[in-house]
Amino acid sequence: MHIALDPRTKLYMILVVSMVVLMTATTPFLWGVRIFMTMVPIILLFIEKKYASAIRFLIFYGLALVLTFFFLSEESSGILTAILIGYCGIVVQFMPAMITAWYCVRTTKIDEFMSAMQKMHVPDGIAISLAVVMRFFPTIKEEYGAIRDAMKMRGISFGDGNALKMVEYRMIPLLFSCVNIGDELSAAAITRGLGGNVKRTSIIELKLHLWDILLMMLFTMVLAVFVYCKYFG
């Protein structure tokens, strides 16, 4: 089965999930809604055949949930538990937003994204910059991995224990490669007519399919139920 979602649906999903993430769940029912909401992007990841990341997210999120519910409480103290609480806090609280964002970044092609932005009349400046940001996180990770390998090879991973040096040794090469990649990227983009005066056309015709509408309705419902139960229920 293949479901190609419209980028606008994905953006809407991000919006809803971010809003729900802001409101903490207080009752078991709200927790249920939240977990259900988190499952949707994970299932979508499975459908897109991104098994590795889907399973990783599932394990991380599940583990944090179990720990939070069964082992941690207001009274827990001690350094190890403090770190554990921190870990579970960040995962349980922000993981849904991160999974959704990850799903959208991983499955949206840049041209789809740009054409969706054009359709929503987002100013070019914001759209282009946002597209670059989206594309760039994996690049930074890749470049950073290469830098770390190089540092390991020369045995200077810890910069002699000097915090300033540790930052400098990593940051400077990273910036060098990012600036270069940026130059290449702009050359490539300008060749494809980005920043011209005419309206750009897109090879991809975006249309809202049945799945998009269903998902949008689903997420609207999730948001409505959550707000209603938290503030009026």
Partner 1 sequence: MNSSKLKAKDFITVGIFTAILIVVEFLCGMLGYIHPYIVASYVVMIPLVGAIPMMLFYTKVEKFGMITIMSVLIAIIMFVLGMGYLGAPLIVAAGVIADLIAKSGKYKSFKKTILSYGVFCLWICANYFPVIVTADSYRTDLLDGGYSAEYCDDLFRAINEKTIAVLLILCFVFGCIGAVIGKKVVKKHFEKAGIV
Task: Name the site residues for partner 1 (rule: CB under 8 A).
Answer: 14, 18, 21-26, 68, 72-77, 81-83, 85-90, 92-94, 97-98, 101, 124-126, 128-133, 136-137, 140, 167-168, 171-172, 174-176, 178-179, 181-182, 185-186, 189-190, 194-195
**What are the φ and ψ backbone dihedral angles of 21, each rounded to 5 degrees?**
-60, -30
Residue appearing with tokens 């991995």: 145
Residue type, 76: S
Smallest distance, Å, CB 74 to partner 1?
5
Contact 3, 41 (CB under 8 A): no
Would you say 36 or 176 has its CB closer to partner 1? 176
Would you say 3 or 86 has its CB closer to partner 1? 86
Closest to 7 measured CA to CA, from 95, 117, 90, 88: 117
**What tokens does 38 get?**
């988190």
Smallest distance, Å, CB 1 to partner 1?
28
CB atoms within 10 A of CB 147: 18
Smallest distance, Å, CB 76 to partner 1?
5
Contact 128, 118 (CB under 8 A): no
Would you say 36 or 69 has its CB closer to partner 1? 69
Would you say 2 or 53 has its CB closer to partner 1? 53
Smallest distance, Å, CB 210 to partner 1?
26
Smallest distance, Å, CB 225 to partner 1?
18
DSSP character string of 152-179: HHHT-TTGGG-HHHHHHHHHHHHHHHHH
Would you say 52 or 79 has its CB closer to partner 1? 79
